[in-house]
Structure 1
Amino acid sequence: MRSDIRVCSDWQTTHERPVYTLGDRCPVCDAPAENSAPAPFDPTDRYGEYRRRARSDGPE
């Protein structure tokens, strides 16, 4: 998934909270901005079934 919204790549050390922008650079500190979307779901994940099973509330 790709998002047009970007977040400052250095926000954890420079800002008190994330700074979001639509540009390529942070408007406050001029650091590069990076994609704010989460990592995509990978259907070829070999261990996904085990992770989902461990998260489930009861036995299947």
Structure 2
Amino acid sequence: MISDIRVCASWQEHHDGPVYTLASTCPVCGSDAVNSAPAPYDPTDRYGEYRRALKRRAHE
């Protein structure tokens, strides 16, 4: 999924919280801005079952 909303790539080092923008650079610090959308869901993911099992074990 491609979103028009971008977030500062180095917000954890330079800002107190995420800085969102529509531009390709951060308006505050000038570093690159990256896509803020999460990775797409893939129903044919081979390792999804294993990843979910590891996540369940970590919460137990």
TM bin (shorter chain): 0.7 to 0.9
Q: Which runs of 4+ in 1 moved over 6 A?
A: none
Amino acid at match of 2:7: V
**1:23 to partner: Cα distance:** 0.3
> Which runs of 5 or more residues in structure 2 are unaligned?
none
TM-score (norm 2): 0.78
Residue 11 of structure 1 corresponds to which residue in structure 2?
Answer: 11
**Is 1:41 equivalent to 2:58 in the alignment?**
no
Give the number of equivalent residue pairs.
Answer: 54
> Which runs of 5 or more residues in structure 1 are unaligned?
56-60
Residue identity (%):
69
Note the aligned Cα RMSD (angstroms).
Answer: 1.7
Amino acid at match of 1:22: L
Whichever of the two has the greater Rg, that structure is 1
**1:43 to partner: Cα distance:** 2.0
